[in-house]
Amino acid sequence: MNAQSLFDLERSELEEFLNDLGERSFRMQQIWHGAYIDLASSYDDITTLSKPLRATLTEQLPINTLEVVSTIESRDKRTQKSLFRLADGETIEAVLMLYDVRRTICVSTQVGCAIGCAFCATGKSGFTRNLSAGEIVSQVLHFARILASRGERITNIVYMGMGEPFLNYDAVMKSIRILNDHEGFNLGARSFSISTVGIIPGIERFTEEDSQVNLAISLHAGDDQLRTRLVPVNARYPLGPLMAACRAYVRKTHRRLTFEIALVDGVNDSTADAQKISRLLAGLMCHVNLIPLNPIPSSIFRPSSRERVDAFAQELINAGITATVRVERGLKISAGCGQLRERPK
């Protein structure tokens, strides 16, 4: 694991760190304001700090944990993907997506992924390690600085990049607390979305948080046999217990769940498949987000046609379930869901 950075600390932890250095409490506010409001990329940018303190902090509590290796932008300039090298040499990707009014960041939570979904490039790279809260926060702040240079601000953060967020639960939730902090970055809780493949202990733990953060479940199929083929972790967390956890979440929080379904041509996109999903979700306060599969190299799977996607959506709507087709960004630069992966170091 990497050495601790400034972005790994909540405000109370930063105050404690500075107290141990013999610094007065107002220094914490100066640093917090500089990092999360002024979006400083170096302690030298926080000129309210003395030069000796800047030097000490640079050595003991680094402010920048990511090196930008490369950035690619879609032809329409609406999507930007960056490859970052971490302090230990590992690499991750994150994406900025521009919509009419929203400015959304898709962040990674792990180096690689252990889930191994059949249609996901990240899973094919295997799992290396969890990211720290600071490494997650640093992805957000990188793009926040880019947007700030245009007079814009991040409106949404989705935990849908590389990795399974609920297998790195503590770091994910800590990163949200840091970015939600009202004296700093101050992004509202409802502007965050966590997507899980269905890690039941994580869903149960999140339910007890009673948080305003949005929760999405990557569902992909309405029966265990097909879902296990597409999402191998279903063998450990099958649909019966998963849906029980989802219904318990809605009962406790009174918040709507989102279910994501990547539609694969000839695999899970038939009328019968849609009917299975309808029965599974009957009576549950939810929204279904349909995603024509984003293609990855060497995969045997292909995206469903728009006609089949629309027919699938209509079947759900006829059953009283709200369903929409996701507007995808950056497919030609491999920045869509399931397309992120590590690159050579």
Is 113 assigned a catalytic role?
Answer: no
Q: Are 83 and 69 in contact (CB under 8 A)?
A: yes
For 88, the token pair is 């230990």
Catalytic residue among 113, 117, 120, 337: 337
Are 234 and 198 in contact, with CB atoms under 8 Å apart? yes
Percentage helix, strand, coil, to 5, in the chain? 40, 20, 40
CA distance 131 to 138: 11
Q: Identify the residue whose tokens are 């597409």.
A: 230
DSSP element (H, E) containing 292: strand 286-292
Please list the alpha-helical segments (H only) found in 181-284.
Answer: 200-209, 224-230, 239-253, 271-281
The 8-class DSSP code of residue 61 comes to S
Q: What is the DSSP track for 63-112?
A: S---EEEEEEE-TTSSEEEEEEE-TTS-EEEEEEEE-SS-EEEE---EEE
**Distance set, CA 6 to CA 14, 62, 134, 192, 219 (Å):** 8, 6, 7, 21, 36
CB–CB of 5/62 below 8 Å? yes
Helix, strand or coil for residue 1?
coil
Out of 93, 135, 164, 315, which one is annotated catalytic?
Answer: 93
| Cα end-to-end span (Å), the chain | 17
Residues identified as active-site = 93, 337
